[in-house]
């Protein structure tokens, strides 16, 4: 039973890796776009002279990328990026009851039995 559980856990974590990689790439791209847009927004001399909403209107790249980044976080991208580690941590919590643990790939780690004297 342990081998079947380990095989299923490693399979599940392995299947999450491609999707996690895509979500990480999307988060990196949107974060870089937001940072680049913010830099251009901040160094623009007109930003200080006009109102906040006018300056955002003048910099649509920053505005759109910032809204996209906020939308991604509200959609739960932070959970999707770390999904395999969340599953492994929850499995470690449950397996601790049975003197076992698992690594980040889902491989079981058998701990020695505590000696009661």
pLDDT tens for each residue of 22-76: 999 999 999 999 999 999 999 999 988 999 999 999 999 999 999 999 999 999 9
Distance from the Cα of residue 54 to its chain's centroid: 33
- For 110, phi then psi, to 5°, come to -90, 125
Within 10 A of 61 (CB to CB), how many other CB atoms are there?
14
Identify the sign of the CA torsion 69, 70, 71, 73.
positive
Percent of the chain at pLDDT above 70? 98
What's the mean per-residue pLDDT of the chain?
91
Where does the pLDDT of residue 77 fall: very low under 50, low under 70, confident under 90, or very high at 90 and above? very high
* DSSP summary character for residue 115: P
Maximum Cα–Cα distance across the chain: 77
Looking at residue 117, what is its pLDDT?
65
């Amino acid at each position: 039973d342990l081998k079947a559980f380990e095989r299923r856990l490693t399979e599940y974590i392995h299947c999450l890796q491609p999707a996690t990689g895509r979500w990480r790439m999307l988060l990196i791209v949107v974060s870089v776009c937001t940072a680049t847009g913010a830099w251009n927004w901040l160094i623009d001399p007109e930003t200080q002279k006009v109102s906040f909403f006018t300056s955002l209107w003048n910099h649509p790249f920053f505005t759109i990328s910032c809204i996209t980044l906020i939308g991604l976080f509200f959609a739960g991208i932070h959970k999707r990026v770390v999904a395999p580690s969340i599953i492994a941590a929850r499995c470690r919590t449950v397996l601790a009851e049975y003197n076992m643990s698992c690594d980040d790939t889902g491989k079981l780690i058998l701990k020695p039995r505590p000696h009661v004297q």
